[in-house]
Structure 1
Amino acid sequence: MSLLTDAHATVLDATVEKMRWQFRMLFDDRAAPSRTYEFATEQGLSIEILRIHRLEERRHGRFGLTDAQYESLIAALEYGYYEIPREMDMDELSDELDISHQALSERLRRAHRTLVEELVALDELS
C-alpha cells in the first residue's frame, strides 16, 4: 500500500475477483499515475491502467466528454432530439449549432460511446 500512499492516491473503489485487484483512484497530480505504474512494474507487479480522466469542476469532464460533445448533448436534449417523436431532427439541430450534419452525427456518436463505456466500466466495478 505504500505504493499508493507515497503517490498521495485516494482509493475511490477497490474490488478483487479471481486474485485480481481493480482500483479506481484519485491522484493529486498528473504525473502520479505514471510514477505509480513505473514503481509497480519495478517491484514485479503486473499493472494495467484502463482509463485516465482529468477531474474537472465541470461534471462532464469526469465522464470523459469534450466541451463540444457535452454542449451538443445538452442542445440535443433541450431541442427535443431525443423525444419520441423527435421535436427537432439532426439537420435542424446541426443548423442550430452551426456545424455540419456529419460533424454533429460524429460528435453525438462519440459522446454516446464515451458515456456507454463509462457506464459499462462502472458496472464492472460493482
Structure 2
Amino acid sequence: MRELVFALEYEPGCNRVADALADHPDARVRSLSLHVTADRLWRVDHATGTATALDAVEDAFLNGDYYADCLVTEDCGATQTTRVLDRADDTLVLYSDWERTPACASVPHIARDHFGDGVLFETRHEGRHYTWRLIHSGRGDVAAFFDALESAVGECAQTELLRTADTTTSATGADGTPSALPPAQEAALQAAVEHGYYESPREVDVSELAEHLDVPRSTLTYRLRRAEEHVAKQHVAGERGANERLASR
C-alpha cells in the first residue's frame, strides 16, 4: 500500500467553502468518512469554529452553485444533497451525497480512475488550503494522476505534493506524528528562522517572508502552522519519553 499526501490551494472565487474558511481563519473542516463509486460520492465532514464561521461554512455547503468538491467551476448538472447531521456552538457535522454527470470532476473520482477501487481518503480544509491524504494499492501512476488533477483544477488552484511513501515504512514517531517534515514545510520553517520571523521583535512578517519565498501568504501561513504543530508534538513526545525512561530506572 502507498500513501499520497497533497494539497490544493484555491484561488479566490473558485470554491465557496475555501472562500468561507479564508474569511474565518479560526474554522477547520475535516472528513470523517468519504466513499466514492464511478458516478457517486458520499462523505461526512466535521467543522469547528465560531458560530459565525460555522454559519458561513454551512451556507457554502448548502447553497453553493455546485457541489463543494466538484473541480468544475460552474454548474455541471449534477445532483447533490447536503444535510446537517449535528450542530453545536462550535461544531458542525455535514452529510453530502453527490451524483455526478460526465462533465463533473473531483479528487476522489480522478483517484479512482488512476488507482482503482479501494482508495481511502482523508481530508483537512483550512483557509484556501485543502489537504488530501490517500491510501492506495500502489499499482497506479502517481504522475498521471497529478497530470489529470492539474488539468481538472486549471487556474482555480495550485497543487502541491507533500508526501508519497510506502505505508509499510513507518513515517511516524512514537506519538503517531510524522517523524520528518514535508520538504515544503521544512523550507518554510528554515526560511522563517533565517529571516528572523521567530525573533522578538520579529525582523520579518508573514507577508514579507511569503514574498521572499514567492508563495501566497495563505500557503506560507499553512506550512508554518503545520511545521510548528509538528515541532511542538515532537518536543512533547520527546519530553514524555525522557520522563518515562527516568521513571523506569
Report which of the two has the higher share of strand.
2
Unaligned runs of 5+ in 1: 1-28, 34-48, 54-62
Number of residues of Structure 1 aligned to a counterpart in Structure 2: 74
1:89-111: CA deviation from partner (whole Å, max 9, x where unpaired) = 11000000111111111100000
Distance 2:190 2:205 in 1: 14
Distance 1:103 1:32 in 2: 28
Look up the match of 1:59. Answer: none
Distance 1:78 1:52 in 2: 25
Q: Over aligned residues, Cα RMSD in angstroms? A: 2.4
User: Any runs of at least 4 consecutive aligned residues in structure 1 with deviations exceeding 3 A, and if so which?
Assistant: 29-33
The alpha carbon displacement at 1:30 in A equals 6.7
Report which of the two has the higher share of helix.
1
Match for residue 189 of structure 2 among 59, 70, 73: 73
| Cα distance, 1:52–1:75 mapped onto 2, change above 3 Å | closer
Match for residue 94 of structure 1 among 201, 205, 210: 210
So what's the TM-score if we normalise by structure 1?
0.51
Look up the match of 1:58. Answer: none
| Cα distance, 1:97–1:122 mapped onto 2, change above 3 Å | same
Look up the match of 1:85. Answer: 201
Structure 2 counterpart of 1:125, one-letter code: G
Look up the match of 2:168. Answer: 31
The alpha carbon displacement at 1:75 in A equals 0.6
SS at match of 1:93: helix
Distance 1:93 1:31 in 2: 37
The alpha carbon displacement at 1:51 in A equals 2.6
Unaligned runs of 5+ in 2: 1-165, 243-249
Q: Which has the higher contact order (CA 8 A, sep 6+)?
A: 2
So what's the TM-score if we normalise by structure 2?
0.27
Distance 2:195 2:234 in 1: 25
